[in-house]
Amino acid sequence: MREFVAVSAILGGLIELMAAIGGPGLAGVGMETGQPAPGMEAGPLLVGLAGAAVSVACGVLVLAGRSGQLWGIALIATAAVGASVVGPSTGWYTLGAGFTLLAGAMALFVRRRRRGAG
């Protein structure tokens, strides 16, 4: 289960990163009129980059055996904030936030690894 959480969180983080960097141009703004798309504003860009970094870091930490419940809550909060701030600029970020939200929900059911007796 840890592997599913990690793959989903890292995939979501990579989609979020590409969507934040691509901005409205990645979403197809200006394609019909031939106008160049406006650049991504600084606030949503920074929130998008931070959300991508947190998604990847949480996925790696869950994979490493850290508390799934703690990092699951962090993933859910990251997806909610990122989708509300960056989502209106580009819909692709919302897709990445969906993967992050899925990883957060699955991480809530991951138990901490036990220090083995072996």
What's the confidence (pLDDT) of residue 116? Answer: 61
Q: Where are the alpha helices (DSSP H) in 1-118?
A: 2-26, 42-63, 68-86, 91-107
What's the confidence (pLDDT) of residue 88? Answer: 87
- Is residue 118 a part of any domain in this protein? no
- Number of independent structural domains in the chain: 1
What's the confidence (pLDDT) of residue 90? Answer: 85
State the burial class of residue 81 (Cβ atoms within 10 Å of its Cβ: 0-12, 13-18, 19+).
middle
- Is residue 100 a part of any domain in this protein? yes
Can you tell me the mean pLDDT for 91-107? 93
- Is residue 55 a part of any domain in this protein? yes
C-alpha to C-alpha distance for 118 and 115, rounded to whole angstroms: 9
Q: Hunting for tokens 């799934």 — which residue is that?
A: 68
Give me the domain span that covers residue 50. 2-27+43-107
Can you tell me the mean pLDDT for 70-93? 92
C-alpha to C-alpha distance for 19 and 24, rounded to whole angstroms: 8
Residue 44 DSSP SS3? helix
C-alpha to C-alpha distance for 59 and 9, rounded to whole angstroms: 5
